[in-house]
């Protein structure tokens, strides 16, 4: 599996947990907004954990077929 990640900038409130849990994939930019710096920089499990940690569901995770894994519909 290889999840892809997208951060909805307008939704991010800069809580930062995602950048801790998936440090190889997501970093905080100079506006304290999460940004994807590298797809698959972490395991799928860590990427999903990062997305699930987001208090405002600003991180969209899709599987390799494009199906949305998180947030759940
Ligand atoms: S956890 Fe959510 S709100 Fe916090 S920095 Fe990441 S994307 Fe933004």
Task: Evaluate the omega torsion of the peptide bond into residue 6 and state whether it is cis, within 30 degrees of 0.
Answer: no
What is 4-70's CATH topology? Answer: Alpha-Beta Plaits (3.30.70)
**What is the structure's pLDDT at 6?**
98
**What is the structure's pLDDT at 46?**
98
Rounded to the nearest whole angstrom, what is the distance from the C-alpha of residue 65 to the centroid of ligand 1?
A: 24
The ranges assigned to domains in the chain are 4-70
Residue whose CA is closest, atom 4 of ligand 1? Answer: 15
**What is the structure's pLDDT at 73?**
77
**What is the structure's pLDDT at 1?**
61
- pLDDT tens digit string along 10-69? 999 999 999 999 999 999 999 999 999 999 899 999 999 999 999 999 999 999 999 999
Rounded to the nearest whole angstrom, what is the distance from the C-alpha of residue 20 to the centroid of ligand 1?
A: 10
Where are the alpha helices (H) located in 1-73, listed in sequence order?
17-21, 44-53
- pTM beyond 0.85: yes
Residue 34 three-state SS: strand
- Which of 7, 10, 20 gets mutated to test ligand 1 (max ligand atoms within 8 A of its CB)? 7
């Amino acid at each position: 599996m290889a999840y892809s990640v997208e951060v909805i900038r307008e939704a991010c409130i800069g809580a930062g947990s995602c950048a801790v849990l998936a440090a190889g994939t997501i970093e905080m930019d100079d506006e304290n907004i999460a940004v994807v710096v590298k797809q698959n920089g972490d395991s799928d499990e860590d990427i999903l954990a990062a997305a699930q940690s987001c208090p405002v569901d600003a991180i969209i995770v899709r599987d390799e077929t494009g199906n949305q894994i998180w947030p759940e519909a």
